Structure 1
Amino acid sequence: MLTKYLPAFIILSLLAEIFGTVGGFGSSVFFVPIANFFLDFQSVLGLTALFHVSSNITKIAFFRKGLDKRLILTLGVPAVVFVILGALVAKYFDPVILTYILGGFLITLSLVFLIFKKLVVTPKTSNAIIGGTLSGFSAGILGTGGAIRGITMAAFKMSKDKFIATSAVIDLGVDFSRTIVYWFNGFIKTDLLYLVPILIVVSILGTWIGKRILQHISQEQFRYIVLFLILGIGIASIVSNIW
């Protein structure tokens, strides 16, 4: 199925990278449900991890104007620990059930931030640790945790460049860790490895376009577009699974 629809897959992956860069959530929140239309959920998890490694290296290169080292420790370390745990238990869940959980997760998350527009996280070390724990476990078992990490990091009032670079460093550790676990779980299928160089090009191009867009609009304006898109993708994930 994927070979037949490869051009559509590449275009949608590029859009996921652009939206993920500009929205600050990371591309996986879009890429996972999109890829799930073409592949089984376990293959999606493996491919997402590989895609995100190259995506985050690209973001670090494009947005390298300073890093929040304290946040990398307080949010990043728990995220890496719990992504390993999430990735380890993912193989014990029915992929169909995980798809429903993913759809429900995206719908709930988007509605919460669309309805409670002033919802913020207090910039405390304890909240950074909790945010890292939840985002890491979510990334391991569902393939995406960037939205949780993004809303946690937003409390610390960083510039867009610093925000994206810090998030990318944390995400790189998360994705490298879960890639190893997914490999041993058998989620990284050798017959899909031909997609990796394609997705590397997609990550570079998508990040570059996203950076250009950020120069012309505020992240707050685009945030609402991203949230509506997440809501739509969440609904589509559940509907497609039923269908």
Structure 2
Amino acid sequence: MKDLNFIFLLLALLAEIIGTIGGFGSSVFFVPLGNFYFDFQSVLGLTAIFHLSSNLSKIFLFKKGLDKKLLLSIGVPSVIFVIIGGFLSKILDSTFLEIFLGIFLVGFSLLFLIKRRLIISPTNKNAIIGGSFSGFSAGLLGTGGAIRGLTMASFNLEKSVFIATSAFIDFLIDFSRTFVYYNNGYIHNHDLKYVPFLLVIGVAGSFIGKKILNYIPQNKFRRLSLFFILVIGIITMTKLILT
């Protein structure tokens, strides 16, 4: 117990709550925050295990809102490309890709926040492209939910549908990349002490986030999601500048 970093666990809970409210999962906060406390590979391994719990919770809490069409068009390419990204994470330098991801998140979220009526066409082609980039980023960098969030935001889904569908896709991604990360040697024995706490945090954070969502009007949901994505991009860039 004395070796546990309780500030990290508190931040993990906050990441889960915000990830539930935003609808794109906690990894977009958990990964950049985790990098302040652990090496990059350990963060990838912990993220995959943490997310299995949190996404199962969201699926149960928002189970009535699943969009099966988007589950296929975004989920299938996400799973394929998360496996590719996971294998490549072992041989590629992620620094440049993290910089690119931070710039992408900040730029696109600002664009949609400023141009409120500007939307990505909700087409099957865009869903497949978004799912592919989301899965690849999740496998390579540990986080792809914000890219998936930008893609799904174009379909203007009701918030329970948005969260349930995103969580189910995220679960498939995490289930797939856990095996890849384990094969890569990212799941370290000295980090396993955090797993029981993260599993509980995944359930508790999802529950708290759902309760908070009851007080958020639907017309503010998309803007709130984009604001969170902007914050994620800033956190990512700040971490890279400080290291």
TM-score (normalizing by structure 2): 0.90
Query: Are 1:205 and 2:207 an aligned pair?
Result: no
The corresponding residue for 1:234 is 236
Task: Give the AA of the match of 2:10.
Answer: I
The corresponding residue for 1:78 is 77
Residues 124, 96 of structure 1: CA spacing in aligned structure 2 closer, same or farther, 3 A cutoff? closer
Superposed CA deviations along residues 122-165 of structure 1, whole A, max 9, x for unmatched, are 11111111111110101110111111111211222322112111
Query: Are 1:163 and 2:162 an aligned pair?
Result: yes
Query: Are 1:184 and 2:183 an aligned pair?
Result: yes
Structure 1 residue 198 displacement after superposition: 0.4
Superposed CA deviations along residues 85-108 of structure 1, whole A, max 9, x for unmatched, are 000100112355555455444444
Query: Are 1:8 and 2:7 an aligned pair?
Result: yes
Structure 1 residue 4 displacement after superposition: 5.6
Residues 185, 109 of structure 1: CA spacing in aligned structure 2 closer, same or farther, 3 A cutoff? farther
Residues 182, 105 of structure 1: CA spacing in aligned structure 2 closer, same or farther, 3 A cutoff? farther
- Contact 2:58-2:163 at 8 Å conserved across structures: yes
The corresponding residue for 1:33 is 32
Percent of residue pairs identical: 53
State the superposition RMSD in angstroms: 2.1
- Contact 2:105-2:229 at 8 Å conserved across structures: no
The corresponding residue for 2:23 is 24
- Contact 2:105-2:230 at 8 Å conserved across structures: no
The corresponding residue for 1:68 is 67
Aligned equivalents of 2:131, 2:12: Cα separation in 1: 25
Instruction: Please list every run of 5 or more consecutive structure 2 residues that lacks an aligned counterpart in the other structure.
Output: none
Aligned equivalents of 2:179, 2:101: Cα separation in 1: 22
Q: Does 69-78 or 154-163 show the bigger shift?
A: 154-163
Q: Does 211-220 or 18-27 show the bigger shift?
A: 211-220
- Residues matched between the structures, number: 240
Aligned equivalents of 1:139, 1:238: Cα separation in 2: 18
- Contact 1:41-1:99 at 8 Å conserved across structures: no
Aligned equivalents of 2:5, 2:224: Cα separation in 1: 28
Secondary structure (helix, strand or coil) at the match of 1:123 reads: coil
The corresponding residue for 1:223 is 225
